[in-house]
Amino acid sequence: MELQTKILIFVVLFPVFLFLFHIPLSRACRRVQPQALTILMLVLSLPLLLLFLSFALAGSGESLPRALSAAVYFAAACLGCEIVYFHLFNMGETARRVRILGEILRRGSMTEEEIGSAYSGEDIVSLRLDRLVGTGQLSLEHGRYRLRRKSLYLCALGLRLWAELLGLRRKKP
C-alpha cells in the first residue's frame, strides 16, 4: 500500500482510535480530573504516532523530501484531529450551551427561571473555580484563590488579542 494511502487511512480513523482508547481510560481513572486526563491521553499518544510513522516510512522507499513531506502532513493532520477531539470532549464537560440542552432534554421543556434554578450563574462560576484548582491553574489557600500556573492565563490573553483583531465586541459571559 502506498505511503500516502496508509497515512490517509490512519488519519481518518485516528479520532475513532482516540475515542475507543478514551472510554476504558476514563472509566478506569474516574478520580482524575477529566480534562487533565484527556490532555494526558493526547500527549501520550504522540510516541505511538511516531512509531506508526516510522513503520510507514521505513518500507516506503520515498526520497527524503517526500518522506519529510509525509511526516509534516501526518504531524499536522494528527495535531488537528487531537485539537478537534479535545474541544469536542471539552464541550460535553464544560460548555454552558451543552448543559442547558441537556437540562431541557431531561425535562422536555423549561422556562428561563427553571433553567436558572437548575443551572445558575453561581453554579457556573463555582464549577469553573473547582476545575481551575483541579487542573492546577489556580491554588486555593485559606479561602483565597491565586494564579498558580500561567499557561491558560496566557492563552486567555492571546484569545482576547485575537478577538480584538477580529473586531469582536466581546459579549459579557
Give residue for cell 526520497. 63
Distance CA 72, CA 135 (A): 31
Question: Restricting to residues 105-124, which ones interact with other proteins according to CB under 8 A?
Answer: 105, 108-112, 115-116, 119-124
Residues in 79-108 that interact with other proteins by CB under 8 A: 79-81, 83-84, 87-89, 91-105, 108
**Per-residue x/- track, 144-163, other proteins (CB under 8 A):** xxxx----xx-xxx-xx-xx
Closest approach of other proteins to the CB of residue 127, in Å: 6
Q: Which residues inside 42-61 make contact with other proteins, applying CB under 8 A? A: none
Contacts of 18 (CB under 8 A, 6+ apart): 41, 42, 45, 81, 82, 85
CB of 27 to other proteins, least distance (A): 4
Q: What is the DSSP letter of 169?
A: P
- Closest CB to other proteins among 47 and 108? 108
* DSSP states along 42-71: HHHHHHHHHHHHHHHHHTT---HHHHHHHH
Calculate the CA 110 to chain-centre distance: 30
- The nearer residue to other proteins, 48 or 157, going by C-beta atoms, is 157
Q: Determine, following the binding rule CB under 8 A, whether residue 21 of this chain makes contact with other proteins.
A: no
Q: Which of 7, 63, 33, 10 is nearest to 136 (CA)?
A: 33
- Report the residue from 48, 125, 134, 136 that binds other proteins according to the rule CB under 8 A: 125
Residue 30 within binding range of other proteins, rule CB under 8 A: yes
The site for other proteins, by CB under 8 A, has a size of 91
Q: CA-to-CA distance for 173 and 171, rounded, in angstroms? A: 6
* 40 sits near other proteins (criterion: CB under 8 A): no
Q: Least CB distance from residue 51 to other proteins, whole Å?
A: 19
